[in-house]
Structure 1
């Protein structure tokens, strides 16, 4: 009896809501302005960074993996290829830096595919924002991962005896070139993330592309030591151009040709895979 009386009293206390009063409430204030392309991209970039904050295990591939690569290749092959590990690391470290960062770019496609499977993309497409902001946000967030990997590699290299003759300016320029190329290279994986059905298939296809590009380059040895037919591929490999640019900048040589090739490849990758990615995103 008491419950029924209370319910009746509450019902009487509630004011009736009419369509007119609800409309007045909704249009009482001005509609907020549509976010700019930069603002929307930075917001989705911050979302990608928050993922790292809540799942710090994601940083394993940008910390432990690069360190393992440097230690393994330096002490396993240094004596055979350069006479001593201390000599070999001067040539190897810039190349391993490029290899490690290029390899972790594939996780951009994995993240895209995971969000598609969870249905998050359906919500993003209903938002009144610049359409490419979602994809650019992924890439901006991953740029932080690339920077962390670069810093970790350089610190380990300095401890092991690597000495960049280019100084701080040369090292910073090398990292900038690497980040620009990695940002452009990641558009390939966003395309695969939208095109393929599962994250396992994204990783499988990514490894099939990355392994030939990284191992058939000048990361480990100079192209002059290879057969002529293989040199033709290695010398025109975009990873070779980036590794040569990074190595030259750290050595203080400032290789204009390699830097221009690296930036040219970056522009070409964005021009080709950017529109393809957005077409797939709009049709997904």
Structure 2
């Protein structure tokens, strides 16, 4: 069977599993929905700090919350691999005429679908709270950026799952990486107000690439140059992360 139908079949399997556990989707959406009004209300007065550079904190925060939600949600993508390994499903998939790329591709496609739903809900909530997107093009590019970010993180999570092979180890690794990267970004605070050492780290942080690119396209006076190289960097990181996952998959298969 060609890779396309295989990916579609495995993607349908992921969607059916999600529909059997609606609480997971509800919790992931509620978490994202809570972040925006919570952080928005808590830090809304920072716009008055000289040098912040934005009059509406909800307009500033919404792209950050979209990317943080995509980032954290994708960090758990490897859990599906761990569960499949523990239940023997992965062994059956490897014994079937299914390519490694189809297994990985279905997982990434599922994460992209989940990210799209989450992002649309947050964008609508941000708009309801007063965020201004200055047209339709910005939100569409923002969605693309969120999908790229989630694909990078999901692929790395899957690679870690294939190497670590236990839920406890994957949870520890995900928490160790996710929270520091979130705070070492401009998701909630202007770059000009960050300490110098954090400001330097943000330039190599994929989460910050996504946040900065999203803000560049939803703000008035769109800066396509600033957004372009960051989106390109995320696309390149997607290819590298997917390659690492396929390599980890090959190593896992050889160890059986």
Note if 1:179 corresponds to 2:147.
yes
Q: 1:82 touches 1:88 (CA, 8 Å); kept in 2?
A: yes
Could you tell me how far 1:37 is from its partner in structure 2?
Answer: 1.0
Rounded to whole Å, the distance in 2 between the matches of 1:277 and 1:168 is 39
The CA deviation string for residues 118-175 of structure 1, in whole angstroms up to 9 with x for no partner, is 110010001112222111111111211111110110111111111111x112211210
Corresponding residue for residue 58 of structure 1: 24
Q: 1:184 touches 1:267 (CA, 8 Å); kept in 2?
A: no
Q: Aligned with 1:125: secondary structure?
A: helix
Corresponding residue for residue 280 of structure 1: 251
Note if 1:211 corresponds to 2:179.
yes
Gaps of 5+ in 1: 1-34
Note if 1:248 corresponds to 2:216.
yes
Could you tell me how far 1:269 is from its partner in structure 2?
Answer: 4.3
Q: Structure 2 length as normaliser, TM-score?
A: 0.90
Residues 95-114 of structure 1 mapped to structure 2, 5 A cutoff: 95-114=64-83
Corresponding residue for residue 22 of structure 1: none
Q: CA RMSD in A?
A: 2.0
Q: Aligned with 1:184: secondary structure?
A: helix
Q: 1:89 touches 1:161 (CA, 8 Å); kept in 2?
A: yes
Could you tell me how far 1:53 is from its partner in structure 2?
Answer: 1.1
Could you tell me how far 1:90 is from its partner in structure 2?
Answer: 1.0
Q: 1:132 touches 1:278 (CA, 8 Å); kept in 2?
A: no
Rounded to whole Å, the distance in 2 between the matches of 1:68 and 1:197 is 32
CA spacing shift, 1:119–1:112, aligned 2, 3 Å: same
Instruction: Choose which of 95, 116, 129 in structure 1 pairs with 2:85.
Output: 116
Divergent runs of 4+, >6 A: none
Instruction: Choose which of 218, 221, 228 in structure 1 pairs with 2:189.
Output: 221
Q: Aligned with 1:150: secondary structure?
A: helix
Instruction: Choose which of 4, 9, 14 in structure 2 pairs with 1:48.
Output: 14
Gaps of 5+ in 2: none
The CA deviation string for residues 200-251 of structure 1, in whole angstroms up to 9 with x for no partner, is 3212211111111111101111121122222111222221111011111112
Q: Structure 1 length as normaliser, TM-score?
A: 0.81
CA spacing shift, 1:147–1:269, aligned 2, 3 Å: closer
Corresponding residue for residue 71 of structure 1: 37
Structure with higher Rg: it is: 1
Alignment coverage as a number of residue pairs: 248
Could you tell me how far 1:65 is from its partner in structure 2?
Answer: 0.4
Corresponding residue for residue 38 of structure 1: 4
Q: Aligned with 1:70: secondary structure?
A: helix
CA spacing shift, 1:61–1:102, aligned 2, 3 Å: farther
Q: 1:98 touches 1:178 (CA, 8 Å); kept in 2?
A: yes
Rounded to whole Å, the distance in 2 between the matches of 1:181 and 1:140 is 13
Q: Aligned with 2:125: secondary structure?
A: helix
Rounded to whole Å, the distance in 2 between the matches of 1:208 and 1:145 is 23
Could you tell me how far 1:274 is from its partner in structure 2?
Answer: 3.1
Q: 2:159 touches 2:248 (CA, 8 Å); kept in 1?
A: yes
